[in-house]
Amino acid sequence: MYTYDPKSLVADEFINHEEILATLAWADANKDNVELIDAILNKARPRRTETGVSCAGLSHREASVLLACEDPERIQRMYHLAKDIKQAFYGNRIVIFCPLYLSNYCVNGCVYCPYHAKNKHIPRKRLTQEEVAREVIALQDMGHKRLAIEAGEDPKMSPIEYILECIETIYAIKHKNGAIRRVNVNIAATTVENYRRLKDAGIGTYILFQETYDKKSYLELHPTGPKHDYNYHTEAMDRAMEGGIDDLGLGVLFGLERYRYEFAGLLMHAEHLEAVHGVGPHTISVPRINAADDIDPSTFANGIDDDTFAKLCALIRIAVPYTGMIISTRESQKVREQVIGLGVSQVSGGSRTSVGGYAEPARPTETEQFDVSDQRSLDEVVRWLMELGYIPSFCTACYRKGRTGDRFMALCKTGQIQNCCHPNALMTLKEFLMDYASEETRAIGEALIEAEMNNIPKERVREICGDHLSKIEQGIRDFRF
């Protein structure tokens, strides 16, 4: 007997090792059970309701059976289903964001990250507030509105006060028509009190990657520093909720451990948040380990190929339909293109993963956290998305309208959020086109907006959106539903 309890607040009980092993064994035993697989696929289908659309999602056990299934025809059905779910809840908008590295000082020993404390040759850098301002101006001049700030863990060099000061600086800068309207925060696990301070500072999502859910591996991969404490790290999202942050971003670093184990653990974490707090994760990120400074990804035995990665992305979309999925520039244009079709709803663009990289004319590499695969400019990424039939969106409306946590989920679960996402995508794209786009991008974007106006179902919303688009042309900014 073992203790698995999604409602427990103890990490080993809500991410229970024996339950994961039992899940994987059950998935193996049923990977050719076509009746069960078809029933699971059927359960996950989006269904029309009186108020819109709804999706049942899948448990970690059900989703793990689909992941184990090797039947090509059924895998294709999974891909189609993921596309249908994505279309039903997210439409064709893709939200754009960018990471901002504040500091690479770190006291931890994560063996997969070049910022680990034992790396003595990597230059260490922490942005001053003047440098933060320079970075933000450079990002605003590209057209960004939504950032994810990143910092290594170092109580002396980047304490919570430093992070809060940076957030204040970022929100305060209004350069030309630019503004950063949403700051998501990716910093080390911390206390309820510090989460409360982050909430009060007006952050969007709090993001913390689990890296791996396998406790034994976790302890080996994090040999030193406060991050070594698996339970403190794994229980961080519950403390964040207690501190009032109800938009939370999960993620594992695929490649560290066996992907099927991680997949089950990730879904159990989502189930735990739902069971305890009534709100699942706001986002799930899907980073794969890649090269950087003294990190060679080939030394990690659990790397996954592109097809497996695509299947994972599709199954996350099917299992947790209401959770946004994020892909960074770690991945190539080709891979990003594939997984955007399968469920990813947010992408980064024009990213630099070094501390202080945006204010430099050329991409500096000496303090990069990871190698950037997709090195295109934001303008190129925007154009590429439009050419693929997506609406690039710089929308940040929800948390600014108080639509977070369960309020957000209530709208999302009925598909009604689309009534906001779609016009907001058009209006924020229009801002980008007016203020930052190249001529070619602008021409494609204007035609796209004109065509997509017809896809706003409610006449009144269409009218208001049209009015706002005219006002944007006259120089007014920041409209939102």
Binding part of the chain for ligand SF4, among 34-42, 394-402, 434-442, 455-463 by CB under 6 A, reads 394-402
CB of 327 to ligand SF4, least distance (A): 16
Token representation of residue 412: 């999302």
Quick one: 344 or 417, whose CB is closer to ligand SF4? 417
398 binds ligand SF4 per the rule CB under 6 A: yes
Tell me the C-alpha distance between 90 and 85, whole Å.
Answer: 8
Compute the chain's Rg from CA coordinates: 21
From the list 351, 344, 350, the residue with the least C-alpha distance to 436 is 350
Q: Applying CB under 6 A, does 448 fall inside the site for ligand SF4?
A: no
Compute the distance between CA of residue 7 and CA of residue 20 in angstroms, rounded to an integer.
16
Nearer to ligand SF4, 36 or 117 (CB): 117
CB of 7 to ligand SF4, least distance (A): 28
91 makes contact with ligand SF4 (CB under 6 A): no
Q: Going residue by residue from 126 to 155, which x/- string records binding to ligand SF4, judged by CB under 6 A?
A: --------------------------xx--
Residue among 37 and 157 whose Cβ is closer to ligand SF4? 157
Half-sphere exposure of 29 (CA within 13 A, CB side): 8
Element spanning 47, H or E: strand 47-48
User: Smallest distance, Å, CB 189 to ligand SF4?
Assistant: 10
Hey, what long-range contacts does 2-8 have (CB within 8 A, 24 or more apart)? 6/268, 6/271, 6/272, 6/275, 6/276, 7/272, 7/275, 7/276, 8/272
Q: Which is nearer to ligand SF4, 4 or 399 (CB)?
A: 399
115 touches ligand SF4 (CB under 6 A): yes
Candidate ranges 47-55, 190-198, 290-298, 393-401; the one touching ligand SF4 (CB under 6 A): 393-401
Among 85, 95, 266, 325, binds ligand SF4 (CB under 6 A): 95
CA distance 324 to 286: 11
- Give min distance, CB of 95 to ligand SF4, in A: 5
Binding residues for ligand SF4 restricted to 205-264, rule: CB under 6 A? 227
Site string for ligand SF4, 161-200 (x = CB under 6 A): ---------------------------x------------
Q: Measured between alpha carbons, how far is 39 from 26 in angstroms, rounded to an integer?
A: 16
Q: How far is the CB of 62 from ligand SF4 (least distance, A)?
A: 26
Residue 106 as a binder of ligand SF4 (CB under 6 A): the answer is: yes
> Tokens 């970075």 appear where?
135
Nearer to ligand SF4, 237 or 398 (CB): 398
Q: How far is the CB of 91 from ligand SF4 (least distance, A)?
A: 9
Give the residue among 329, 420, 424 at the shortest CA–CA distance from 432.
424
Least distance (Å) between residue 30 CB and ligand SF4: 35
Degrees, nearest 5: CA angle 63-347-45: 30
- Tokens 């057209």 belong to 143
Q: Between 69 and 295, whose beta carbon lies closer to ligand SF4?
A: 295
Greatest distance between any 2 Cα atoms in the chain: 68
The number of residues that bind ligand SF4 (CB under 6 A) is: 20
> Residue 70 and residue 20: Cα distance in Å, rounded?
20
Interaction of residue 282 with ligand SF4, rule CB under 6 A: no
Reduced DSSP (H G I as helix, E B as strand, rest coil) percent helix, strand, coil of the chain, to 5: 50, 10, 40
- Examine residue 397 and tell whether it contacts ligand SF4 (CB under 6 A): yes
Residue 106 CB, nearest distance to ligand SF4 (Å)? 3
Euclidean distance between CA atoms 1 and 306, whole angstroms: 37
How far, rounded to the nearest angstrom, does the alpha carbon of residue 329 sit from its chain's CA centroid?
Answer: 12
List the one residue from 367, 393, 404, 441 that touches ligand SF4 (CB under 6 A).
393
Least Cα distance to 314 among 96, 74, 148, 108 occurs for 74
Contact 285, 150 (CB under 8 A): no
Nearest distance in Å: CB 383, ligand SF4: 20
Is there binding between residue 424 and ligand SF4 (CB under 6 A)?
A: yes
Q: Nearest-5° angle of CA 368, CA 369, CA 375?
A: 60
By CB under 6 A, the residues from 361 to 380 that bind ligand SF4 are none
- Find the shortest distance in angstroms from Cβ 345 to ligand SF4: 8
Residues 368, 369, 372, CA angle at the centre, nearest 5°?
Answer: 70
Does the footprint of ligand SF4 cover residue 283 (CB under 6 A)? no
Nearer to ligand SF4, 62 or 154 (CB): 154
Q: How far is the CB of 100 from ligand SF4 (least distance, A)?
A: 14
Rule CB under 6 A: which residues touch ligand SF4?
Answer: 95, 106, 108, 110, 113, 115-116, 152-153, 188, 227, 393, 395-398, 417, 420-421, 424
